[in-house]
Amino acid sequence: MPSIHTLRRFCHLLLGAAALAAVTIPQAYATPDYIRLDSFLEQNPDQMRTASQFADLVRKSAQPVEDSGLSTIKIALVYPGIQASDYWRRSQTSLERRLRSLNIPFELRSFFSHPSVDTALQSQQLARALEWQPDYLAFTLDVAPQGRMVERLLAQGKPKLILQNITTPLARWQSHQPFLYVGFDHAQGTQLMAEWMLNKIDYRGKYLLLYFSPGYVSQMRGDTFASEAAKYADVQQVGAYYTDGNLERAYRATLKTLEQHPDLKMIFACSTDVALGALRALREKNRLDVLLNGWGGGAAELQALQQSELDVTVMRINDDNGIAMAEAIKLDLLQQPNRVPQIFAGEIKLLPADIPEDQLEQLIQRAFRLSGVEVMAQ
């Protein structure tokens, strides 16, 4: 019998080289120790009031610190921001602009990489960021190597760690929590789209599930959608693939599924880049009748939505993210850390392709109020 090491290596090669190995048991990658946002608030009712008051700060105009005499702080961002989604770039811009409005002197260094596949580079970037000795560090958590990096930082206790794009604390870190979890609730956004999409296909038909990478985002988005779809006997999942957020892999997985199942009704994509890869295949095969979603509502998705090539997405009120980080830093500097919630989860809105233009424009102005409504270049 092959060793565990041999089997793991074989699976890794299949995922990395072929990239189209079907996901037969996605739950194998699920980790049970994430505490869902609603459960966390039930377990910590004091956090509900803190989070609500903090959300008011985020929504309001900046209240600058007057005659603070604050020393210049150092902030490092280690982001998987090289992707079609403009979420990470907008986060940096809104953070910087809010800090300036708050009259907080700062230096900022950012390090960008591709998501999922660049974990070795992220490790190097993290080391470079720490050599700079920042006061605050924003990082993310999706795949296992990132979790190990985070645990080392939590054990050290500094810099103060902001975990971004995650709103579900890990139970095993309860005694050494990061300074702030910040982002948007992936499960909530997915449930909004699942209800809309399943209704749109009249709760019957075949669908393809395009995951991100084996890890947190795929679990919270992809597995949540699969769970909702499984409630209906006439909805059949005919394929599921990990794409590592790669447009080309999503494109090829979609082509393969269309060949095998020409009666495909729907595709659920776990990220912007994945959706755009699937869209390319649907265009090529003249199959825009297949229902397709986006995830996040950034500029690239909004363009496809307005052209009726995406059917629906959920839109993060994106700049809440950077503003929340800035407001948390301000409260910390003012010796008021008790006013910073453990988790900040920004608003998410459902956007079908037929949303009235005036409503869409209002949402765009809210979501990108600091980062700008224009497309942000990579």
Fill in the DSSP letter of residue 291. E
Residue 82: the pLDDT is: 81
Which residues, listed in sequence order, are joined to residue 11 by a DSSP beta bridge? Answer: none
Tens place of pLDDT per residue across the chain (378 aa): 444 333 333 333 333 334 454 543 344 334 457 888 888 888 889 999 999 999 999 999 999 998 768 899 999 999 887 878 889 999 999 999 999 999 999 999 999 888 766 677 888 888 899 899 999 999 887 555 566 777 777 877 789 999 999 898 887 777 778 999 999 999 999 999 999 999 999 999 999 999 998 888 899 999 999 999 999 999 999 999 999 989 999 999 999 999 999 999 999 999 999 999 999 999 999 999 999 999 999 888 999 999 999 999 999 999 999 999 999 999 999 999 999 999 999 999 999 999 999 999 999 999 999 999 764 433
Residue 143: the pLDDT is: 54
100 to each of 15, 60, 95, 264, how far by Cα in Å?
44, 15, 9, 50
In the chain, where are the structural domains located? Answer: 37-184+318-346, 187-295
Torsion of CA 120, 125, 128, 132, to 10 degrees: -150
Amino acid 169 reads: P
Residue 223: the pLDDT is: 95
Pair 287, 280: CB distance under 8 Å: no
Sheet with 106-112: list strands edge to edge.
106-112, 73-79, 136-140, 160-164, 180-183, 343-345
**Count of CB atoms within 10 A of residue 281's CB?**
21
* Beta strand ranges found along 141-217 (DSSP E): 160-164, 180-183, 205-211
* Beta strand ranges found along the chain (DSSP E): 73-79, 106-112, 136-140, 160-164, 180-183, 205-211, 235-242, 264-269, 291-292, 312-316, 343-345, 348-352
Residue 321: the pLDDT is: 94
CATH topology agreement for domains 37-184+318-346 and 187-295: yes
Distance (Å, rounded) from C-alpha 260 to C-alpha 239?
10
Residue 72: the pLDDT is: 95
Residue 20: the pLDDT is: 53
Tell me which fold the domain 187-295 belongs to: Rossmann fold (3.40.50)
Distance (Å, rounded) from C-alpha 137 to C-alpha 158?
9
Q: Which helix (H) or strand (E) holds 188?
A: helix 186-200
Total residue count of the chain as it appears in this document: 378
Tell me which fold the domain 37-184+318-346 belongs to: Rossmann fold (3.40.50)
